[in-house]
């Protein structure tokens, strides 16, 4: 059974703990490792690996201390080059080439963001539960059969963004970057409609914008669309 804990989410830092009861992992380390340890009640010795999606600091800020703790960190070659840290525990992975960490089989896939070779991850445990993790992307080109857990960025609503621009609260130039780098509520809905959700148990909406989102509205709209349990950490 998959268990998910959001330790941090948003532009100030992202980190998520996931376990299938056998192999605990961290998805992103965008906060200091000392904070991760506190939020996990100092039970971090059994963490078997860290999956990083891209090199922006809110996703990899804590990487040095994770490496010092003896935990392997997985990322694309492009991300490793951009972070520019040489360490034997940094393991590079390729999109569409699966690998294993303990009881997990993991398939990286390419996503669309303003960074060097960003990726998302599809994780499957030995009970064939499937967890999709995708953040900091404006589009996901793939379809994923048999998903049971979805963790996906839902950064902004186009309607809220346009309202903020019209009111002068957000600079107009921000719109172009957001549209070409982050997942909107509207695109999340399109993605969910395009996938088979029949086995989905939970949907997590991640990395909401401080200014251009509405957590309660996003949760309500995704619940109404899917009929699934929705979490907004």
Domains and CATH numbers, the chain: 3-231 (3.60.15.10)
Within 13 Å, how many C-alpha atoms sit on residue 92's CB side? 14
Cα–Cα distance, 146 to 160 (Å, whole number): 33
Maximal CA-CA distance, the chain? 51
pLDDT value, residue 94? 97
Contacts of residue 78, defined as CB under 8 A and 6 or more positions apart, other chains included, come to 115, 116, 117, 118
What backbone phi and psi angles, to 5 degrees, belong to 181?
-145, -15
pLDDT value, residue 213? 94
Q: Quick one: DSSP state of residue 184?
A: B
Tokens of 136: 């900091």
Cα–Cα distance, 219 to 46 (Å, whole number): 32
Average the pLDDT over 82-93 and give the result: 95
pLDDT bin (cut points 50, 70, 90) of residue 172 is confident
Nearest-CA neighbor of 73 among 61, 97, 89? Answer: 89
Residue carrying the six token digits 């993605």: 191
Residue carrying the six token digits 């997990």: 104
Within 13 Å, how many C-alpha atoms sit on residue 215's CB side? 11
pLDDT bin (cut points 50, 70, 90) of residue 80 is very high
> Looking at the predicted structure, is the pLDDT value of residue 114 above 80?
no
Cα–Cα distance, 154 to 185 (Å, whole number): 5
What is the percentage of the chain residues whose pLDDT exceeds 70? 100
């Amino acid at each position: 059974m998959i268990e998910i804990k959001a330790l941090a989410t948003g532009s100030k830092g992202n980190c998520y703990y996931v376990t299938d009861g056998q192999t605990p992992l961290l998805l992103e380390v965008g906060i200091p490792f000392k904070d991760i340890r506190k939020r996990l009640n100092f039970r971090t010795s059994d963490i078997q690996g860290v999956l990083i999606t891209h090199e922006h600091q809110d996703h990899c800020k804590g990487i040095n201390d994770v490496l010092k703790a003896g935990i392997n960190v997985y990322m694309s070659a492009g991300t490793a080059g951009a972070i520019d840290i040489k360490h034997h525990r940094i393991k590079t992975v390729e999109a569409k080439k699966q690998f294993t960490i303990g009881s997990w089989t993991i398939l990286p896939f390419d996503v669309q963001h303003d960074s060097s070779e960003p990726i998302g991850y599809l994780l499957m445990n030995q009970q064939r539960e499937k967890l999709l993790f995708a953040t900091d992307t404006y589009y996901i080109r793939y379809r994923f059969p048999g998903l049971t857990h979805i963790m996906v960025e839902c950064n902004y609503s186009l309607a809220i963004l346009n309202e903020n621009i019209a009111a002068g609260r957000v600079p107009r130039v921000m719109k172009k970057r957001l549209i070409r780098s982050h997942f909107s509520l509207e695109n999340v809905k399109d993605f969910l409609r395009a996938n088979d959700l029949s086995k989905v148990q939970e949907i997590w909406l991640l990395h909401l914008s401080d200014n251009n989102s509405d957590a309660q509205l996003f949760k309500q709209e995704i619940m109404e669309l899917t009929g699934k349990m929705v979490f907004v950490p």
